[in-house]
A and B are shown apart, each in its own frame.
Chain A
Amino acid sequence: MAHAPVMSTSKYVMIWVWLAGLMLLGVALSELPIAPRTIFLLVLGLSTVKAMLVAAYYMHLRFDDRLLTMVALSPVPLVMVLVIALLLDKPHFLH
């Protein structure tokens, strides 16, 4: 806490505007006549960007020690292995 950087209120609000905007963009994209798999990738890509914004600015990873970022990212390779290993059972989903 002692080292927690304090962003200005306007910056916190700006991050919220980005989060809300990206969320509404995802809702709009889901209504477009696009292939379901493309929408799946687009919407989950937007979710990943939003998660990174929350982690970087609201959870202060951008300003904290990089070791904490490494701790936070440590499950990502494990999750990737988990998802890929499970989807290998359904190869048609990957094509």
Chain B
Amino acid sequence: MAPLVYCVSMTHPPLPAGPTVGRLGLESGKLGMWLFLVSEVMFFAGLLSAYIVVRAAHPAWPGSDGHLSVPVGTINTLILICSSMTMALAVGAADRQDARQLRLFLAATITLGLVFLGVKAFEYQAKFHHGIGPHTNIFWSCYFVLTGVHGLHVLIGALANGWVLARTRGDRFWATQRHLVELSGLYWHFVDIVWIFLFPMLYLI
């Protein structure tokens, strides 16, 4: 367990030896990450609301017209859900100070995230090959915006996990920075939750 440091002085506080805890009794980093995720929820809520309203208002919603593969989307969703599990296991390994398992689960999470992006790239390439792009109609415009923004979040999450994985080599990480795994994990799980809503809205309904 990393030691907690309580902020008791406003001037020249000592360098933190672990996650700092504010006056609310919450770890500052975790609270900050949750507040950031709240802003992200509003960002995606705006996009999804716009999608629902545009769809409801359209007299003849074009849909994917058979150009989206439900089995491929289902497999990709399973991959992302798997990555959430490995991320949760990585947080548990960090808490147990199990370096080997932490690196294993972080690497698995990154790999699964990249596989998800690879499948998405394959899907994009197939669409472009058939002359389908954001310009085709309102459905595909929404599809590429929503999945593109989500894919960007997956990429950022994979990079963040890679950065944390690289830091696990240092002693300082095990002494004071293990909480970074949980912060990175919160972001990763959020990205998973976004896809949990995107997949049925784009592929199933």
Interface residues of A (CB under 8 A from B): 1-4, 6-7, 9, 12-13, 15-16, 19-20, 23-24, 26-27, 30, 36, 39-40, 43-44, 46-47, 50-51, 54-55, 57-60, 64-65, 67-68, 71-72, 74-75, 78-79, 82-83, 86-87, 89-90, 92-93
Docked Cα-Cα span, A74 to B50, in Å, equals 21
Q: Which residues of B contact A75 (CB under 8 A)?
A: 38, 41-42, 45
Given contacts A75-B41, A75-B42, 10 further A-B pairs with CB under 8 A are A1-B2, A4-B95, A12-B92, A16-B81, A16-B84, A36-B205, A58-B88, A78-B42, A87-B52, A87-B53
Q: Which residues of A contact B74 (CB under 8 A)?
A: 23-24, 27
For chain B, the bracket of interface size reads 35 or more
Q: Is B123 an interface residue (CB 8 A)?
A: no
Docked Cα-Cα span, A36 to B192, in Å, equals 25
Q: Which residues of A contact B201 (CB under 8 A)?
A: 44
Interface residues of B (CB under 8 A from A): 1-4, 18-19, 24-27, 30-31, 34-35, 37-38, 41-42, 45-46, 49-50, 52-53, 56-57, 70, 74, 77-78, 81-82, 84-85, 87-89, 91-92, 94-96, 178-179, 181-182, 185-186, 189-190, 192-193, 196-197, 199-201, 204-205
